[in-house]
């Protein structure tokens, strides 16, 4: 997690090559289920790894059963991707058409601020460890790879939250504190933060 070390560069030939690399990295982030959050030019892609098998949201919630068109994980449109869990986070980001840099952050023994970010969605439908979330009639939908959600009809009893750790570094001479690094940790519906 050193800021001094230059992150390695990796190249992918195609979508299958990208998926294979992601699957190979997943065990290092969590002994339990690691999650995937990717940002593409065409939207947000959620996924999860179960027994080293990657499932993305568009495979679970697809047309015509659900009136939603979720983006696919594709090398062509991928901007950045995070695989995260309690043990760490891998961040992959685009440099060029096929080249990416990546880095791993574990659980450093440093001061941190845990933050619980509420995700978009007051309504939901659960299916196969995923929950399709939306808010009112706005039409914006995403499917989180998390099924431990209590529903009252299609209304969420508690919002889905993304747990994030922000790591603090202190300047030697001045004692000035700054957040120098953040990483995704977990999905939950609990309000209290367990770091």
Q: Per-residue pLDDT for 15 more than 90?
A: yes
CA distance 143 to 50: 16
Q: Per-residue pLDDT for 1 more than 70?
A: no
Identify the helix (H) or strand (E) that includes residue 19.
helix 15-25
3-class DSSP state for residue 144?
A: strand
User: 2 falls in which pLDDT band (50, 70, 90)?
Assistant: very low
Q: 42: burial class by Cβ within 10 Å (0-12, 13-18, 19+)?
A: middle
Q: Which of 8-12, 138-142, 145-149, 158-162 comes out lowest in average pLDDT? A: 138-142
On whether the CB atoms of residues 191 and 160 are closer than 8 A, the answer is no
CA distance 135 to 141: 8
Q: Which residues pair with 77 in a beta bridge?
A: none
Q: What percent of the chain has pLDDT over 90?
A: 73
Q: 88: burial class by Cβ within 10 Å (0-12, 13-18, 19+)?
A: buried
Q: Which residues pair with 174 in a beta bridge?
A: none
CA distance 65 to 41: 25
Report pTM. 0.90
Q: Average per-residue pLDDT in the chain?
A: 90
3-class DSSP state for residue 177?
A: strand
3-class DSSP state for residue 27?
A: helix
Compute the CA torsion angle 119, 161, 38, 111 (nearest 10 deg): 130
pLDDT in tens, 86-123: 999 999 999 998 899 999 999 888 899 999 999 999 99
Q: Which of 24-28, 105-109, 135-139 comes out lowest in average pLDDT? A: 135-139
Query: Pairing mode, if any, of strands 177-188 and 155-156?
Result: unpaired
CA 89 to chain centre: 9
CA distance 141 to 63: 13
pLDDT in tens, 40-69: 999 999 999 988 899 999 999 987 778 788
């Amino acid at each position: 997690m050193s800021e001094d070390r230059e992150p390695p560069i990796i190249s992918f030939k195609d979508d299958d090559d990208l998926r294979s690399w992601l699957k190979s990295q997943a065990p290092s982030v969590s002994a339990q289920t690691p999650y995937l959050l990717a940002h593409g030019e065409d939207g947000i892609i959620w996924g999860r790894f179960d027994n080293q098998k990657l499932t993305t949201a568009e495979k679970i919630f697809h047309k015509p059963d659900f009136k939603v068109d979720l983006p696919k994980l594709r090398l062509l449109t991928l901007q950045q991707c995070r695989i995260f869990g309690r043990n760490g986070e891998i961040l992959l980001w685009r440099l060029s058409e096929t080249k990416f840099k990546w880095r791993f952050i574990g659980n450093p023994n440093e001061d941190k601020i845990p933050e619980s970010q509420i995700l978009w969605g007051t309504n939901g439908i659960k299916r196969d460890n995923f929950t399709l979330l939306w808010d009112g009639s706005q039409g914006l939908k995403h499917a989180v790879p998390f099924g431990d959600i209590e529903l009252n009809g299609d209304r969420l009893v508690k919002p889905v939250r993304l747990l994030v750790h922000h790591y603090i570094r202190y300047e030697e001479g001045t004692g000035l504190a700054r957040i120098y690094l953040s990483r995704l940790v977990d999905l939950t519906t609990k309000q209290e933060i367990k770091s």
